[in-house]
Amino acid sequence: MPLKTPEEYLESIKRETNLYMFGERISKFWDHPYYKIIEPSINTVKKIYELAQQDEFKYLMTAQSHLTGKIVNRFTHIHQSIDDLLLKVEMQRLLGQKTACCFQRCVGFDAANALYSITWEIDNKFKSDYHSRFKDYWIEIQENDLFVAGSMTDSKGDRGKRPIDQTDPDAFLHIVDENNKGIFVSGAKVHQTGFLNSHQAIVMPTLALRKGEEAYAVSFGIDTTAKGLTMVYGRQTSDTRKLEEGILDIGNFKYGGQEIFVIFDNVFVPNKQIFMKGETEFTGGLVNRFAGYHRQSYACKTGVGDVLIGAAALIARYNGVEKASHIRDKLVEMIHLNETLWSCAVACSTKGFKRDAGNYEMDMLLANVNKQNVTRFPYEIGRLAEDLAGGIICTLPSQQDMENPDIGSLIQKYLSTCADVPVNDRYKLLRFIENLSMGVASLSYKTESLHGAGSPQAQRIMISRQANLEDKINLVKEILDLS
């Protein structure tokens, strides 16, 4: 099958689901008033399919599959070189620039690349057939140009207890039964980016497991409409503005992200889609490799940062202060922070290496440094954007007031700045900055920058493990002739 068009993608996800929004069960989300809230996130995914069709971007958006030799969407590609790692982050920056939000496909992409080498290593030790199963599964994904979500984060229950010690065993997703055809799993996966918009999902354990926790050491592929799956749509700041008439108050009215709370109730998984079942000693490697790939993926924030910097520069122009030295200095600082993020994304890709399975992996230390910076710099970039926009991003009247026949003209009069700047253009831009720094899009720019791909402390732990302090100590000993 050739690469899907955006229209073909949209039709392909119109499948009945067990979805809840605002306390209401919705089976056909595309035919419901709440679709206005969901649609921007679908538009974002459609953009991926659109750019893959355009000659200008095919070198970034597509790749030649090493499994079939065919051209596939890069989000279904298994990295085969350092160039693939670099093209990945370039693609992510481009998509951040084009949508100014989370484009939802990185988690499944990174899960697949982590599983590719882990399944090979499990098979190498136990003579199992997980790797061949995974390759067959992934060929089907590539052949049908499917969107695959990634599911790692469990609800976790009491954070002070291991999975096996929880009062409710479902606090971590686990195997509850099995037969000769497959397994049954129960639990929940939270913060599931783009799950409703995807065709399939790769499920993984959320932490390194120990002996006795074999039931939790499970990884598999699953159709997102499988029996027993329940989705609950996550609330986002100002999300119901999308239900109002008009677009001015929305901010980024074209694109958006999506997070789903997913409940697994005795969900059946066939053997051919199981990629780990009880191999606790490999769970830490899977979690760490996925986290490394995903921390590399935060190159996306540089693309969103590019847009926010552009918005800050434009609002300064609309306000008539773009030439002021302190304004220009703040923009330089925003650029400096953004390009520092980009430098780490490029560095961890350039320093990648080949696994025994044949696929390529980023440099783990630099990927974690990259993500640690991402937990900080977007907040400062956002703060500076708010500084340049002014407090009016928090106090603007509504679009309805702007269009009210009695007071609308007065609001327009007092919102006017430079003679050549339409009031509505400035209004839309202010709402856009509000959206990126405080509204719906701030989820994918600021909050996701902090918590996505693990907490800041998780990266610090990995940095400590990867830092080779003894090697650094030995450098001093050698210079000073110390014993």
Distance CA 135, CA 141 (A): 10
DSSP string, 314-365: HHHHHTT-TT-HHHHHHHHHHHHHHHHHHHHHHHHHHT-EE-TTS-EE--HH
Residue 102 falls in the annotated catalytic set? yes
Q: Are the C-beta atoms of residues 32 and 242 closer than 8 Å to each other?
A: no
Q: Name the 3-class secondary structure at 251.
A: coil
Q: Tokens 């890709």 correspond to what residue?
A: 349
Amino acid at residue number 303: G
Q: Name the 3-class secondary structure at 25.
A: strand
Tokens of 227: 């029996």
Of 101, 106, 344, 348, the catalytic one is 106
Task: State the DSSP code for 12.
Answer: H
Strand pairing class (19-21; 229-233): parallel
Residue 294 falls in the annotated catalytic set? yes
Distance CA 355, CA 353 (A): 7
Residue 106 falls in the annotated catalytic set? yes
Q: Do you know the residue count of the chain? A: 483
Spatial CA neighbour of 415 closest among 319, 331, 297: 319
Residue 300 falls in the annotated catalytic set? yes
Tokens of 16: 């009945």
Of 102, 131, 255, 348, the catalytic one is 102
Of 9, 34, 293, 300, the catalytic one is 300
Spatial CA neighbour of 190 closest among 237, 236, 234, 238: 234
Q: Which residues partner with 353 through β-bridges? A: 361
Residue 298 falls in the annotated catalytic set? yes
Q: Are the C-beta atoms of residues 218 and 276 closer than 8 Å to each other?
A: yes
Q: Are the C-beta atoms of residues 341 and 374 closer than 8 Å to each other?
A: yes
Of 259, 279, 386, 434, the catalytic one is 259
Distance CA 96, CA 218 (A): 32
Q: What are phi and psi of 62, to 5 degrees?
A: -130, 165
Of 17, 62, 193, 375, the catalytic one is 193
Tokens of 51: 């750019």
Of 76, 233, 294, 361, the catalytic one is 294
Residue 418 falls in the annotated catalytic set? no
Q: Which residues partner with 277 through β-bridges? A: 218
Of 34, 255, 298, 318, the catalytic one is 298
Residue 259 falls in the annotated catalytic set? yes
Q: Tokens 């209401």 correspond to what residue?
A: 24
Residue 101 falls in the annotated catalytic set? no
DSSP string, 161-180: S-GGG-SSGGGS-EEEEEET
* E strand intervals along 415-477: none
Q: Which residues are catalytic?
A: 102, 106, 193, 259, 294, 298, 300, 448
